[in-house]
Structure 1
Amino acid sequence: MQEAYSKEEFESKLRDMGRMYHIHHPFHIRMYEGTCTKEEIQGWVANRFYYQCMIPIKDAAIMSNCPSLVDRRKWIDRITDHDSVGGGIEAWLELGEAVGLNKEDLVSHKFLLPSVKFAVDAYVNFARQRPWKEAAMSSLTEMFAPQIHQQRLSTWPDNYPWIEQKGLRYFQKRLSEARRDVQHGLAITLEEFNTRELQEKAFSILQFKLDILWTICDALYLAYELKRPPYFNCEK
């Protein structure tokens, strides 16, 4: 049996998986380079809204499987961050309006791509069905999130001046929230995944979440950049 990594080694290896974060997907690269079209930005915002809506449902599923009062009290902040008045979902609706989308179209998920829905639903089902510590550590892609939020705040005003600045509130609020959430999720992971076998499982779980995010970008790339949305070659 292989010896477990030290907590420092384990954390370093987890963070190194950021090289596969969707910030490196060609769709995201074009987004921060300023070469995305208005339609592509709108498509990303509309599809990502489904992910935003399902985040508090995912977190509620994790809480429902968690027997620890202390951890539930910490985890509930994630639900409040998104579901409260002025929270993440409302902030994303502001972003939608800022890029020229109709609020009713966003709420109805009118532009939701099937691949995006399947990917997000797979993540929620994972959170419902797996032990809460495994589901909790799948959220550790938050280690890489502040960089992508800051990237949007730094590049969008110059690259996409047609986007109303008030729509960027979501990215601003997530800078601090994501860093706070990482502290809790990482502490659980480093403490509980304490054998080499469990650590290898942790790597596979984090890879699963990275796969979810990358798959969402693949769907957007196919539909909006290559102009091949679902059934594009079929008669309707």
Structure 2
Amino acid sequence: MAQPLTRERFAARLHDLRGRYWDTHPFHLRLHSGGCTPPELRRWVANRWYYQLCLTRKNAAIIANCPLPEVRRAWVERLGYQDGPNGDEGGLADWLVLAEAVGLDRAEVTDERHVARGVRFAVDGYLHFCQTRPWTEGVAAALTEMFSPDHMARRVAAWRTHYAWIDPAGYAYFEHRIPTARRDSARTLELVLDHCTTAAQQQAAVEALAFKCEVLRAMLDAVDYGADR
């Protein structure tokens, strides 16, 4: 029977998936270098809205699958963060401000008319994964948060440099999310390290994080393919 990794080696295996994160995707490289047209950037924002909508539901699924009250209490904070106390606050509200900042109308974002089939398929697959897999795997999939804060910080700097036409009010989403993601990723990693203690659980966690990286890259494939169509 395979022996579990030490805590340090397990953490290192998870961090090793950094190279599969979506920041190396050709579309993101173009997005950050100033190579995207306004319609391409708007398409990215409109398609990411569908992913934003999924987050509360996938987090609720993780909570529903988890038998541990202490984990549920910690994870439930994510629901309030994303949905906000009302329609004018929270991650979803901030994303709609971003949509307006890049020239989209709220109605054309919320009715999902711009969502590519591939994006819908990838996001729905991620939600289904979190609904049907053990809660530890859903939590492990969320460890892309380890890679996102620095990436988002670079995005804001790049957009301010290359896309001066974007209303600065739109950066509120990233300004709020970056410190939250740093905090959440540390807590999420601790949960995975604490609760994935067998070799099988550790391997499943690594595969869950790899799957999430593929979901994100598949989303960009769809956005990139349809950007000029």
| Equivalent position to 1:192, from 179, 192, 195 | 195
2:166 is paired with a residue of what secondary structure? coil
Find the aligned partners of 1:220 and 1:3 in 2 and give their Cα distance: 41
Residue matched to 2:225: 222
Structure 2 gaps of 5+ residues are none
Percent same amino acid among aligned pairs?
38
1:2: Cα distance to partner? 3.2
**Mapping for residues 1-236 of structure 1, pairs under 5 Å:** 1-84=1-84, 85=86, 86-224=89-227, 227=228, 229=229
Q: Is 2:136–2:205's contact at 8 Å kept on the other side of the alignment?
A: no
Q: What one-letter code is carried by the residue in structure 1 that aligns with 2:38?
A: K
181-190 vs 85-94, which deviates more? 181-190
1:138: Cα distance to partner? 1.0
Find the aligned partners of 2:11 and 2:196 in 1 and give their Cα distance: 11
Find the aligned partners of 1:67 and 1:49 in 2 and give their Cα distance: 30
Q: What one-letter code is carried by the residue in structure 1 that aligns with 2:147?
A: F
Q: What one-letter code is carried by the residue in structure 1 that aligns with 2:16?
A: D
- TM, length-normalised to structure 2: 0.95
Residue matched to 1:234: none
Find the aligned partners of 1:131 and 1:197 in 2 and give their Cα distance: 12
Q: What one-letter code is carried by the residue in structure 1 that aligns with 2:43?
A: G
Structure 1 gaps of 5+ residues are 230-236
* CA-based RMSD: 1.1
Find the aligned partners of 1:128 and 1:40 in 2 and give their Cα distance: 32
> Across the two proteins, how many residue pairs are aligned to each other?
226
2:76 is paired with a residue of what secondary structure? helix
2:211 is paired with a residue of what secondary structure? helix
Find the aligned partners of 1:205 and 1:133 in 2 and give their Cα distance: 9
Find the aligned partners of 1:104 and 1:191 in 2 and give their Cα distance: 43
157-166 vs 176-185, which deviates more? 176-185
Find the aligned partners of 1:135 and 1:201 in 2 and give their Cα distance: 10
Q: Runs of 4+ in structure 1 displaced over 3 angstroms?
A: none
- TM, length-normalised to structure 1: 0.93
Find the aligned partners of 2:103 and 2:50 in 1 and give their Cα distance: 17
